[in-house]
Amino acid sequence: MNILRKDISKFSDEQLMDLLSSKRSNEALTELHKRYANKVLGFFIRMFRGDVNKAQDFVQDLFIKILTKHNQFDSKKKFYTWMFTIASNMCKSDFRKPKKNAISNDCFELSDLAQWNENGIDKELFRKGLRQAIESLTENHKETFFLRFIQELSVKDIAEITNASEGTVKSRLFYATKKVTAQLSEFNPEKHEAIFKMN
């Protein structure tokens, strides 16, 4: 069967990238957007301190870059990693500008991983503490923290995305988790240590 007649929803990410230079480029980009728009939106929201409008703009810019730079994609690598590399670089470029964005009240969901109510812990207080702890990190540590614990990427993938060595990524994760958990010490330390696993 001709590949142009196949159900595009069954294509791999890499096959969709191949189609971006074909007559089905719009379909391919739409399918990639359907698969990953929410994930990168969440990433941008967190990196831009809850600025949803800005994050939405960056999502659209990201997919435009995917379309215009698709020839730079190495089909031997994972699309997911390549996409987050672009997203990471977009954030780094923006970080050079002054920021006055407010922190969103709903931009962190890590607390959902633990049954805080079982121990009588106020979930909203924990979420507030978690937001403050993460916002106290440097941009590099924050990005690494998000990629590992929000996007659940491997150390190897994070190293590729951030153009750092795996050792550097592990060091950033160690520093970030140590600082975050230290600031959450009033809560159950065993709980959040289980959440923020290095491996």
Question: Cα–Cα distances in Å, from 183 out to 116, 132, 178?
Answer: 17, 9, 9
Q: Average of pLDDT values for 175-195?
A: 66
One-letter amino acid at 137 equals L
pLDDT value of residue 196: 55
- The answer to whether residue 34 is domain-embedded is yes
Q: How many C-beta neighbours within 10 Å does residue 98 have?
A: 5
Report how far residue 155's alpha carbon sits from residue 141's, in angstroms, rounded to the nearest whole number: 13
Nearest to 40, CA basis, from 161, 163, 139:
161
Domain count, the chain: 2
What is the tens place of the pLDDT at every residue in 79-135?
Answer: 999 999 999 999 988 877 655 444 444 444 444 444 444 444 566 777 777 778 888
pLDDT value of residue 5: 56
Of the residues 69, 94, 119, which one is the last residue of a structural domain?
Answer: 94
The pLDDT > 90 percentage for the chain reads: 33
Query: Do 128 and 90 belong to one domain?
Result: no
pLDDT surpassing 60 at residue 166: yes
Range of the domain at 87: 10-94
pLDDT value of residue 29: 93
Query: Do 89 and 117 belong to one domain?
Result: no
Report how far residue 132's alpha carbon sits from residue 145's, in angstroms, rounded to the nearest whole number: 14
pLDDT value of residue 87: 94
Q: What is the CATH number of the domain that holds 178?
A: 1.10.10.10
- The answer to whether residue 104 is domain-embedded is no
Task: Look at the alpha carbons of 178, 167, 108, 51 in this order and tell me if their dihedral is positive or negative.
Answer: positive
What is the tens place of the pLDDT at every residue in 8-34?
Answer: 889 999 999 999 888 888 899 999 999
pLDDT value of residue 97: 66
- Which one has a higher pLDDT value, 149 or 59? 59
Q: What is the CATH number of the domain that holds 89?
A: 1.10.1740.10
pLDDT surpassing 50 at residue 159: yes
pLDDT value of residue 168: 92
Nearest to 196, CA basis, from 135, 111, 106, 81:
111
* 37-54 exposure pattern, b = at least 16 Cβ within 10 A, e = fewer: eebbbbbbbbbbbbbeeb
Of the residues 40, 60, 94, which one is the last residue of a structural domain?
Answer: 94
Query: Do 66 and 135 belong to one domain?
Result: no
- The answer to whether residue 5 is domain-embedded is no
pLDDT surpassing 70 at residue 199: no
Q: Average of pLDDT values for 136-152?
A: 86
- DSSP state letter for 187: S
Query: Do 114 and 189 belong to one domain?
Result: yes
3, two tokens: 């590949």
- Which one has a higher pLDDT value, 3 or 27? 27
Query: Do 141 and 64 belong to one domain?
Result: no
Of the residues 66, 94, 122, which one is the last residue of a structural domain?
Answer: 94
The pLDDT > 70 percentage for the chain reads: 75
